[in-house]
Amino acid sequence: MLTLRSYALGEWRAAGGRAATLVNPATEEPVGEVARGDLDRAAVLRHAREAGGSALRAMSFAERAERLGRMSEVIQEAREELIELAVRNGGNTRSDAKFDVDGASFSLSAYAEVGAAFDASHALSDGPGVPLGRSPRFHGQHVLVPRRGVAVHVNAFNFPAWGFAEKAAVALLAGMPVVTKPATSSALVACRIVERVVERGLLPEGALQLLTDAGDLLDHLGPQDVLAFTGSGATGRHVRGLPSVIRNAVRVNVEADSLNAAVLGPDAEPDSELLDYFLKDVVRDVTQKAGQKCTAIRRVLVPVPLLSRVREGLADLLGAVTVGNPAEPGVRMGPVATASQLEDVLGGIGELSACGRLLLGGAERVPGVGAPEGKGFFVAPTLVEVAGEAAAAAVHEREVFGPVATLVPYPGHAAAAVDLVARGQGGLVSSVYSDDTDFATELALGLAPYHGRVFLGSSRIAELSPGPGTVLPSLVHGGPGRAGGGEELGGERGLAFYMQRVALQGARPVVERIAGR
């Protein structure tokens, strides 16, 4: 059995002490262990700041971008190995594992392209320069420079490759060293990626460290450090309130819970391409990664006249999904990640079912095809329908992080849909499926204040789009309120979290030279 090690202070370290066992969630067989023990985490952060940060800042954006491109190539070369690990440790189907691994390499290559456009610069201009007096000689300019701290990344269990890469790509390009902490339950993939990067010597010493156990790491954060966290809203609130974070005004980015909605427009016809497109996107989001995506569709808003057609369509498509061991041919959905995750999902289904009518699935563990009898954290795709305009609080407050969606009827006008979606108190993404430009515009503008992203699905893009659940590095990822109030990615925008904006004022030639203009 594999023992996962931390990579810290320039070497691989197998900590002592009590070990946590990683299992295959389809069979419950052990696949590895993570030892929890002694490691001077304050020294880890110092090493990152002093060795890694100095080396990264000595490189230009273009040079750092070149390293990201090589990291992307390493992941592509190891693609089959990483997919196999994701199937075994994450309970992913092969398709789900590819989604994660390919998303990681794509994010790194995308930021390699962003950085290449900056050439040999060491600072970034932030907007145009401005004259500060009657003479143009007295000049002002905002610039972005790398912070002198370390970027601590605490990642979730559902995307061990993509979650690592999307954060690391932006931080490293910005010139900040990274200490990454993968979720324990699915850490095999992230650990293997870091092993490959270290083996190839792709980054300066101290630029990338991996901890399998966070310990007291966050207690040692300083005023130049940043913390990016993906996970539950409760844990996000906890890290924001840490004494070290408050005392040092540490920058924190949180991506947390999200009751994402998909709204079908009243212009959809019962047998139209638009309706088929809508149904397929909902089913994919319910079943991909067993519904364990922060961007998955949780609430399905349907105009009352189309409710019967959508109900039947979703029940047919979801009912045909084979649930089981993803190593078996024909299995389309694997288990949820852990025993505690299964317990949480089944409890959530019970809460939602109490608000309405259970159409499919249920709040009980099910046997998985190809899994040992009585083993595996399997739950069936589940669909709950609520009556009226879904006044029940749980529908808009309880995110069930599994293959579960709630069917919510609405009167068919944009204002009613906005009101229902807004009850989720902030989300990462919600989507509109309509060929009616006026309806889509009104709804999009109504949803925009509550989301980081609004997806506009129509028959015009049905063959082109990967759907609302796919996070693209060129667009921001994050959302207000319940979703954590954070923002990641967004192309060049993502760099600002890891850099200090400073206003320069002085003689124009000097200011422009510093700004790299």
Dump pLDDT digits (tens) for 435-484. 999 999 999 999 999 999 999 999 998 888 888 989 999 999 999 999 99
pLDDT (0 to 100) of residue 391: 61
Taken in order of first residue, the domains within the chain and their CATH numbers are: 2-256+487-514 (3.40.605.10), 261-473 (3.40.309.10)
20/456 Cα distance (integer angstroms): 43
Q: Is the pLDDT of residue 1 over 70?
A: no
pLDDT (0 to 100) of residue 13: 83
Give the closest residue to 212 by CA, choosing from 41, 84, 30: 41
Give the closest residue to 324 by CA, choosing from 334, 312, 313: 334
Q: Return the H-helix or E-strand segment holding 233.
A: helix 233-240
pLDDT in tens, 324-342: 999 998 999 999 999 999 9
Q: Residue 369, CB half-sphere, CA atoms under 13 Å: how many?
A: 15
Q: Are 255 and 484 a contacting pair, CB within 8 Å?
A: yes
φ, ψ of residue 69 in degrees (nearest 5): -60, -40
> pTM higher than 0.95 for the full model?
no
- pLDDT category at 114 given cuts 50, 70, 90 is very high
Give me the sheet containing 11-13, strands edge to edge. 11-13, 6-8, 208-210, 178-181, 151-154, 226-230, 251-255
- pLDDT category at 381 given cuts 50, 70, 90 is very high
Q: Residue 441, CB half-sphere, CA atoms under 13 Å: how many?
A: 3
SS3 of 424, please?
A: coil
Give the closest residue to 68 by CA, choosing from 30, 8, 116, 12: 116
Mean pLDDT of the chain: 92
Q: Is the pLDDT of residue 120 over 80?
A: no
φ, ψ of residue 254 in degrees (nearest 5): -120, 130
Residue type, 160: P
CB burial class (10 A; 0-12, 13-18, 19+) of residue 425?
middle
pLDDT (0 to 100) of residue 232: 87
State mean pLDDT over 171-195: 95
Q: Is the pLDDT of residue 19 over 90?
A: no
- Catalytic residue numbers read 255, 294
Structure tokens at 517: 């203009």
φ, ψ of residue 147 in degrees (nearest 5): -70, 160
pLDDT (0 to 100) of residue 467: 87
State mean pLDDT over 397-420: 93
State mean pLDDT over 168-176: 97
Name the least confident of 11-20, 102-111, 311-320.
11-20
pLDDT (0 to 100) of residue 97: 94
pLDDT (0 to 100) of residue 355: 87
Beta strand 138-146 with 130-131 is antiparallel
Q: Is the pLDDT of residue 17 over 80?
A: no
Work out the angle between the directed axes of helices 307-319 and 273-287 (0-180°, nearest 10): 50
Per DSSP, the residues of 437-461 read: HHHHHHHHHHHGGGEEEEEEE-TTS
CB burial class (10 A; 0-12, 13-18, 19+) of residue 514?
middle
239/227 Cα distance (integer angstroms): 9
pLDDT (0 to 100) of residue 72: 97
Share of the chain above pLDDT 90, in %: 81
pLDDT (0 to 100) of residue 15: 62
Q: Is the pLDDT of residue 6 over 80?
A: yes
SS3 of 364, please?
A: coil
SS3 of 87, please?
A: helix
Q: Where are the beta strands (DSSP E) in 294-410?
A: 299-303, 357-360, 382-385, 404-410
pLDDT (0 to 100) of residue 118: 87
Residue position matching structure tokens 């993906």: 230
State mean pLDDT over 103-116: 95
pLDDT in tens, 54-63: 999 999 999 9
Give the closest residue to 54 by CA, choosing from 207, 169, 226: 207
pLDDT (0 to 100) of residue 205: 94
Give the closest residue to 229 by CA, choosing from 283, 320, 167, 176: 167
pLDDT in tens, 206-216: 999 999 988 89
Q: Where are the beta strands (DSSP E) in 17-85?
A: 19-23, 30-35
pLDDT in tens, 238-281: 999 999 999 999 999 999 889 999 999 999 999 899 999 999 99
State mean pLDDT over 282-308: 95
- pLDDT category at 98 given cuts 50, 70, 90 is very high
Share of the chain above pLDDT 70, in %: 97
Helices (H) and strands (E) in the chain, counts: 16, 23
Q: Where are the beta strands (DSSP E) in 338-435?
A: 357-360, 382-385, 404-410, 427-433
Give start and end residues of each alpha helix (H) in 78-210: 79-90, 94-116, 162-174, 187-200
